[in-house]
Structure 1
Amino acid sequence: MSDPTTDPAFLHDPYPTYAALRSKCPVQQVPVGASGHSSYLVTGYAEARKALADPRLSKDTAAFFADKKSRRRLHPAVTHNMLSSDPPQHTRLRKLVTNAFTTGAVAELRPFIAEVTDTLLNQWSAGEQVDLVADLAVPLPVIVICELLGVPEADRPDVQRWSKELFAAGKPDLIDTTSHAIAEYMTGLITETRLHPGDSLLDRLISARDGSDHLSEEELVSLAVLLLVAGHETTTNFLGNAVLALLQHPAELERLRENPETVSASLDELLRFDAPVGTATFRFTTEAVTLGGTDIPSGVPVLVAFGAANHDPKRFPSPGQLDLSRKVAGHLSFGHGIHRCIGAPLAKAEAEIALRAILARCPRLRLAVPPDRLQWQRTRLLRGLTSLPVLT
């Protein structure tokens, strides 16, 4: 059996493949790529929630690869970070980051997010064709997270390019080289921030304390890289996917146009319908686990497919239908358990502000190309468009 997620049809629409896999078993072993390796893939909602909360499924990838030979030369800041750690280390790091990355900071950012959105949309003219990904979904979260971390404006194009290259499917050498470039950049930025302190998130991470505990230099760099990359890549996908979903469901789009105050309440259904992260970064079993009736041995990788779980009809009836009135609490687009995305409030704030602005300023927005001509990122991890041509 070949890897079902390498089929070009999967990139365009993964949900039929997920449904077929789930119908056989919500947890099963599948090939991964052309390497001959395999992983256990979780496609059922109930099983996914259990897997994400099970401490026997470790995120400590350094431990998993410790006795495995690899030619990869990823920078430790990319491989050894908060996302790739277990308690008590994860608990300690998350507490220190949470103290600096507050919901109050997101609320304070809303006027800036609105200003950036307006600046970007001011470059659009009525009736012209624009690329909603390149002209809004990419620059908006990049500018916001760079502003939050104190990245100088002149450096932001490099940051955007590095973040994209870290997810370059099928290009391990480029990913490895890029991991060093972005880690070395953040190391320098931390040094510069210490010399010239301000009030950025990076300043707060540098000064973060929990009693006598604080972040080491290596932890500072890895957290800065993680926040920089995770802080905009998923939001870019979220916004592009959400606009496409609305354009393909005109009745729901019209509902939002008539009731723009409901945009915030509609975000979770848009996230469920086409999650910006298709599959979580991998976990591995530290002991034998039985999940969804499948026996998984110790020491093997496990992939939890957020997109599949969000389309499990046992949890979300008629999952392929976008229904903005749906009661959708519990979707897994931001994960679940101790590793739930810490930046979820920021991503939702950016998407809400951007969608409201688009609704108000682009009453005739429509696709500029047939849906089957849209190009998607060639990775199972992320679910996002490479471009979204629209007519304003």
Structure 2
Amino acid sequence: MTTNTLSMPFDAASFTNPHSLYARLREEGPVHRVATPDGSPIWLVTREADVRAAMNDQRLTVDKAYSSIGYKGFTLPPALDTNLLNMDGVDHLRLRRMVSQTFTPRHVEALKGRVQLVAQQLADSIAERGEADLVADYANPLPLVIIGDLLGVPDEIRRPFSRWAGAMLDPEYPGQVAEAVEHIHRYLVELVALRRGTPGDDLLSRLITARDQGEKLTENELVSLGFLLLWTGSENAQHLISSGLLILLSHPEQLAAVRADPELLPAAVEEILRFTHANQLAIRRFPITDIEIGGVTIPAGDTVMLALSSANRDPARFTDPDRFDIQRRDNAHLALGHGIHYCLGAPLARMEVRIALSTLLNRFPHIGLAVSEDALQWRASFRSHALKKLPITVSQG
């Protein structure tokens, strides 16, 4: 079966409650023809089995050269766009190998002490005030410090990047995307120049050496890798930490279980990943030939979006999927991807979230929302669903 009928607009207003929307779409069918906020038609895949299979299907490529309509996305310059997310095959493997050692479980474990120290320092600051915006005061700076350390980003220039990266994804201010991209482009070019002039014991300096001495990657690939690592290394963990705490506060019996038995925390992190993740969709893909997904024929060159958030709440895969259960068994979610584009920084993100939450729970016997849950502000779009702020109050006894 094939259809060219646009079944719904896929805009920010539709994503006030994304899980309700996805439940309806899954029930109606596995694949939907929808329009993105800019009017572009896409194929949206909603069911877990189809999403998982598509992520391993070599007939689907992330290479935009195969787009029949000239897909532009964020309209990033080549110096930001020539990265792992937009590559398959030998080029993807070449670049992935150059950075993968930094994110192996063994190397990540060596960062544990640094993550704990930063988390404790941030918690100290919160304790002094008794209140905080958990996003700005804790969830944002923690992963930003760690990925900044790994890449050799000087302390004083880390915050501006985070501000511009957030602006790229905020649906309330679509006009600021071009400005944010321009700032980030300039920022990364200047950062590479800084590290090239004063190299250190960091990943970006090693990539620069590989570029300058061995021609193992182009200048655009170098800058774009720096952008991708800095962006994903800070944004993803930020949202998992803030949303993770909110979910625990919203499920007091689960929170009590984690407090009583800290050994449950790794499983709690996995359930947080399944239950809520900022990235609603995997990176877009394009069929290199006509293919069938869920009984729907998709023409070559059309844009295909895989709904990770929907797949992780699919009742055909997860029992009682809308229930948050930190003791859930067989929790093989897709929040961090699947196949060759599985998240490179997954071990680091998991450790950061685990330490961030355990530090808060150990330090503060009482943590509560400073506003009602209904008053919380979300960055809700067809791409992401993340907290803008999380006002909390804390006490130490």
TM-score normalized with structure 2 length: 0.91
Structure 2 residue aligned with 1:89: 91
Instruction: Report the number of matched residues.
Output: 387
Asked whether the 8 Å contact 1:100–1:208 carries over to 2, the reply is no
Structure 2 residue aligned with 1:371: 373
Counterparts in 2 of 1:5 and 1:253: CA distance versus 1, 3 Å: farther
Partner of 1:221, secondary structure, is: helix
Structure 2 residue aligned with 1:242: 244
The partner residue of 2:48 within 18, 39, 45 is 45
In the alignment, the residues of structure 2 paired with residue 156 and residue 71 of structure 1 have an alpha-carbon distance, to the nearest angstrom, of 25
Cα offset, 1:167, TM superposition: 1.8
Structure 1 residue aligned with 2:229: 227
Q: Residues 44-88 of structure 1, C-alpha deviation per residue, up to 9 Å, x if partnerless?
A: 0000001111112211125437x7497985321232211111212
Counterparts in 2 of 1:364 and 1:42: CA distance versus 1, 3 Å: same
In the alignment, the residues of structure 2 paired with residue 231 and residue 72 of structure 1 have an alpha-carbon distance, to the nearest angstrom, of 19
Asked whether the 8 Å contact 2:66–2:301 carries over to 1, the reply is no
Structure 1 counterpart of 2:12, which letter?
Answer: T
Q: Higher mean Cα deviation, 17-26 or 292-301?
A: 292-301
Structure 1 residue aligned with 2:163: 161
Structure 1 residue aligned with 2:13: 7
Q: Higher mean Cα deviation, 160-169 or 130-139?
A: 160-169
Q: How does 1:75-224 map to 2 (within 5 A)?
A: 75-125=77-127, 128-169=130-171, 171=173, 173-208=175-210, 214-224=216-226
Matched, 1:25 2:29: yes
Q: Residues 244-299 of structure 1, C-alpha deviation per residue, up to 9 Å, x if partnerless?
A: 11111111100000011321232111110112311122112221111111111111
Counterparts in 2 of 1:73 and 1:269: CA distance versus 1, 3 Å: closer
Q: Higher mean Cα deviation, 306-315 or 23-32?
A: 23-32
Q: Higher mean Cα deviation, 185-194 or 254-263?
A: 185-194
Asked whether the 8 Å contact 2:83–2:225 carries over to 1, the reply is yes
Partner of 1:7, secondary structure, is: helix
Partner of 1:206, secondary structure, is: helix
Asked whether the 8 Å contact 1:235–1:276 carries over to 2, the reply is no
Cα offset, 1:349, TM superposition: 0.8
Matched, 1:60 2:63: yes
Asked whether the 8 Å contact 1:45–1:310 carries over to 2, the reply is yes
Counterparts in 2 of 1:199 and 1:55: CA distance versus 1, 3 Å: same
Asked whether the 8 Å contact 1:100–1:205 carries over to 2, the reply is no
Counterparts in 2 of 1:231 and 1:366: CA distance versus 1, 3 Å: same
Matched, 1:36 2:54: no
Partner of 2:225, secondary structure, is: helix
Give aligned-pair identity as a percent.
Answer: 38
In the alignment, the residues of structure 2 paired with residue 158 and residue 101 of structure 1 have an alpha-carbon distance, to the nearest angstrom, of 25
Asked whether the 8 Å contact 2:264–2:326 carries over to 1, the reply is no
Cα offset, 1:328, TM superposition: 3.8
Cα offset, 1:344, TM superposition: 0.7
Counterparts in 2 of 1:49 and 1:345: CA distance versus 1, 3 Å: same
Asked whether the 8 Å contact 1:78–1:222 carries over to 2, the reply is yes
In the alignment, the residues of structure 1 paired with residue 132 and residue 252 of structure 2 have an alpha-carbon distance, to the nearest angstrom, of 20
Structure 2 residue aligned with 1:388: 390
Unaligned segments of structure 1, at least 5 residues: none
In the alignment, the residues of structure 1 paired with residue 221 and residue 71 of structure 2 have an alpha-carbon distance, to the nearest angstrom, of 25
Asked whether the 8 Å contact 1:99–1:208 carries over to 2, the reply is no
Q: Residues 112-161 of structure 1, C-alpha deviation per residue, up to 9 Å, x if partnerless?
A: 11111111110123893321111111111111111111111111121111
In the alignment, the residues of structure 1 paired with residue 65 and residue 187 of structure 2 have an alpha-carbon distance, to the nearest angstrom, of 23
Q: CA RMSD in A?
A: 2.3
TM-score normalized with structure 1 length: 0.92
In the alignment, the residues of structure 2 paired with residue 289 and residue 52 of structure 1 have an alpha-carbon distance, to the nearest angstrom, of 14
The partner residue of 1:290 within 281, 289, 292 is 292
- Return structure 1 stretches of 4+ with deviation > 4 angstroms: 69-73, 170-173
Matched, 1:74 2:98: no
Structure 1 residue aligned with 2:4: none
Structure 1 counterpart of 2:56, which letter?
Answer: A
Partner of 1:122, secondary structure, is: helix
Partner of 2:199, secondary structure, is: coil
In the alignment, the residues of structure 1 paired with residue 91 and residue 73 of structure 2 have an alpha-carbon distance, to the nearest angstrom, of 27
Asked whether the 8 Å contact 2:66–2:287 carries over to 1, the reply is no
Counterparts in 2 of 1:254 and 1:28: CA distance versus 1, 3 Å: same
Asked whether the 8 Å contact 1:75–1:176 carries over to 2, the reply is no
Q: Residues 322-362 of structure 1, C-alpha deviation per residue, up to 9 Å, x if partnerless?
A: 11111244200001100011011111111010111111112
Asked whether the 8 Å contact 1:283–1:302 carries over to 2, the reply is yes
Cα offset, 1:213, TM superposition: 6.3
In the alignment, the residues of structure 2 paired with residue 390 and residue 128 of structure 1 have an alpha-carbon distance, to the nearest angstrom, of 9
Cα offset, 1:170, TM superposition: 6.0
Structure 1 residue aligned with 2:278: 276
Partner of 2:277, secondary structure, is: coil
In the alignment, the residues of structure 1 paired with residue 161 and residue 92 of structure 2 have an alpha-carbon distance, to the nearest angstrom, of 26
Counterparts in 2 of 1:72 and 1:254: CA distance versus 1, 3 Å: closer
